[in-house]
């Protein structure tokens, strides 16, 4: 049994000599920029609702809505949390169709779905944010009975079959999350073993062994999906961890280290912070150091390029360069204490980087705020 009272939250920014006041100011500035400033991408609408806009694609995604809810619960913003959740529950939730009880992954700001299918990375973030809200603020009625909403969603994720293919969101044979319910491959950045450890404590009792095994299966999987030399992971990958090269006509190219994949190291760092560190695990640290070495030294001539997982440089430049900077900094959580070497250089580089402006600011600034929370010891289990 995990003792949550013993979880400690490393403050990497303090190790860098940054005061608590400076840390708090930077976090609050980022939050205000995202939700209220002139470059905001959160919009409040009538009916006590709000949505997060993907500024690059001009749609509302379960990814962004669940990210916004997690930010709110971490920073104790219950009214804004409720507005986001109400919009998601009103316009994204699906009563019927192929996947009832889930959320349409892309919806127009007007509330009309662009797609009917779910993307389970949104669902797992919704569930975690709701459980934290239940513990931090208490349950109310209806959709604001956060704990029951979360457990119902977790129930759906592992028991309900896609009505077209008969597949679950998680592959029941290997306990790995699918990219989408009908797919037979995964996305390494969807793997959140630190969430599954908590689902194993708070989901329906009969489902807790499944989530415990899912946590361990994802940890084994991430070690396969991250390249043994570079530490790079692909956007989509087969269940053996190799980059997914099939179905590119349908899904596009995703066998490279590109936008989705930047999140993988942040997820590894959070798993190390919440659980691996106290258990004395080292594999998170080893992967993180390989990735830092790759970007800081191997490709120092073009650290914001596009790369195959073996490090081969590909044409083009990163769509989200600040996301790379932010997640590399967050990887410093999985480094020896006190902060030094490449990990220190990554955090210093991130601390000196302003939030992004312009068309693509949504993804970069979301990952930047999460990095600030993690590096300051403010991304916590509630």
Condensed to tens digits (0 to 9), the pLDDT of residues 234-293 reads: 999 999 999 999 988 888 899 999 999 999 999 999 999 999 988 889 999 999 999 999
- Give the largest Cα separation in the chain, rounded: 55
* Catalytic hit among 235, 260, 289, 364: 260
* Residue 233, CA distances (Å) to 181, 190, 248, 258 in order: 21, 12, 18, 9
Of all residues in the chain, what percent carry a pLDDT higher than 70? 100
Residues 381, 374: Cα–Cα separation, whole Å: 11
Instruction: Give the position of tokens 């001009």.
Output: 58
pLDDT at 338 over 80: yes
pLDDT at 63 over 70: yes
pLDDT at 1 over 70: no
Residue 7, domain member (yes or no): no
260 part of the active site: yes
Query: Which phi and psi (to 5°) does residue 357 adopt?
Result: -115, 165
Residues 318, 307: Cα–Cα separation, whole Å: 9
Residue 123, domain member (yes or no): yes
pLDDT of 121 reads 97
Instruction: Indicate the pTM of the whole model.
Output: 0.97
pLDDT of 147 reads 98
Residue 380, domain member (yes or no): no
Residue 228, domain member (yes or no): yes
Residue 41, domain member (yes or no): yes
pLDDT of 4 reads 84
* Residue 332, CA distances (Å) to 11, 13, 139, 339 in order: 10, 10, 35, 8
Mean pLDDT confidence for 11-19: 98
What is the domain range of residue 139?
Answer: 17-375
pLDDT digits (tens, 9 = 90+) for 370-380: 999 999 999 99
pLDDT at 139 over 90: yes
95 part of the active site: no
Is residue 343 within 8 A of residue 298, CB to CB? The reply is no
pLDDT at 3 over 90: no
- Picking from 293, 233, 299, 298, the residue whose alpha carbon sits closest to that of residue 267 is 233
Residue 2, domain member (yes or no): no
Q: What is the 3-state secondary structure (H, E, C) of the chain?
A: CCCHHHCCCCCHHHHCCCCHHHHHHHHHHHHHHHHCCCCCCEEEECCCEEEECECCCCEEEHHHHHHHHHHHHHCCCHHHHHHHHHHHHHHCEECCCCCCCEECCEECCCCCECCCCCCHHHHHHHHHHHHHHHHHHCCCCHHHCHHHHHHHHHHHHHHCCCCCCCCCCEECCCCEECCCCCCCCECHHHCCHHHHHHHHHHCCHHHHHHHHHHHHHHHHHHHHHCCCCCCCCCCCECCCCCECCCCHHHHCCCCEECHHHHHHHHHHHHHHHHHHCCCCCCHHHHHHHHHHHHHHHHCCCCCCEEEECCCCEEEEECCCHHHHHHHHHHHHHCCCCCCCHHHHHHHHHHHCCCCCCCCCHHHHHHHHHHHHHHHCCCCCCC
Residue 3, domain member (yes or no): no
Mean pLDDT confidence for 323-334: 98
Domain count within the chain? 1
pLDDT digits (tens, 9 = 90+) for 150-188: 999 999 999 999 999 999 999 989 999 999 999 999 999
Residues 98, 375: Cα–Cα separation, whole Å: 40
Give the list of residues 6+ apart from residue 355 with CB closer than 8 angstroms, or none: 30, 33, 39, 322, 361, 364, 365, 368
pLDDT of 375 reads 98
Is residue 113 within 8 A of residue 66, CB to CB? The reply is no
Residues 265, 14: Cα–Cα separation, whole Å: 21
- Tell me the pLDDT of the chain averaged across its residues: 97
Mean pLDDT confidence for 14-30: 98
141 band by pLDDT with thresholds 50, 70 and 90? very high
pLDDT digits (tens, 9 = 90+) for 92-106: 999 999 999 999 999
Residues 113, 184: Cα–Cα separation, whole Å: 25
CATH at residue 41: 1.50.10.10
Is residue 114 within 8 A of residue 127, CB to CB? The reply is no
pLDDT of 90 reads 98
Residue 381, domain member (yes or no): no
């Amino acid at each position: 049994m995990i003792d949550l009272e013993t979880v400690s939250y490393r403050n990497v920014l303090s190790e860098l000599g940054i005061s608590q006041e400076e840390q708090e100011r930077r976090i609050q500035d980022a939050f205000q920029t995202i939700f209220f400033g002139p470059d905001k991408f959160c919009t409040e609408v009538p009916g006590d609702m709000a949505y997060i806009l993907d500024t690059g694609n001009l749609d509302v995604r379960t990814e962004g809505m669940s990210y916004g809810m997690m930010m709110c619960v971490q920073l104790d913003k219950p009214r804004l949390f409720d507005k986001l959740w109400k919009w998601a529950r009103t316009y994204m939730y699906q009563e019927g169709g192929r996947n009832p009880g889930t959320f349409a992954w892309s919806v127009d700001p007007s509330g009309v779905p662009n797609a009917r299918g779910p993307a389970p990375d949104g669902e797992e973030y919704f569930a975690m944010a709701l459980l934290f809200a239940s513990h931090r603020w208490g349950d109310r009625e209806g959709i604001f009975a956060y704990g029951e909403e979360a457990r119902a969603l977790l129930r759906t994720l592992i028991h309900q079959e896609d009505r077209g293919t008969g597949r679950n969101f998680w592959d029941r044979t290997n306990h790995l999350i699918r990219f989408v319910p009908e797919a037979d491959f995964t996305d390494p950045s969807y793997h959140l073993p630190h969430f599954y450890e908590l689902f194993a404590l708070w989901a329906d009792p009969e489902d807790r062994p499944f989530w415990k095994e899912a946590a361990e299966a994802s940890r084994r999987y991430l070690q396969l999906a991250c390249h043994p030399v570079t530490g790079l992971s692909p956007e989509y990958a087969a269940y053996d961890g190799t980059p997914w090269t099939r179905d590119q006509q349908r899904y596009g190219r995703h066998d490279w280290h590109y936008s989705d994949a930047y999140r993988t190291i942040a997820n590894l760092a959070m798993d190390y912070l919440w659980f691996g560190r106290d258990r004395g695990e080292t594999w998170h640290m080893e992967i993180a150091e390989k990735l830092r070495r790759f970007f800081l030294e191997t490709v120092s001539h073009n650290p914001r390029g596009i790369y195959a997982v073996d490090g081969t440089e590909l044409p083009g430049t990163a769509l989200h360069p600040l996301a790379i900077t932010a997640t590399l900094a967050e990887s410093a959580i999985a480094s020896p204490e006190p902060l030094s070497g490449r990990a220190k250089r990554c955090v210093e580089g991130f601390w000196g980087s302003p939030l992004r402006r312009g068309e693509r600011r949504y993804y970069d600034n979301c990952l930047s705020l999460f990095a600030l929370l993690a590096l300051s010891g403010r991304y916590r289990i509630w």
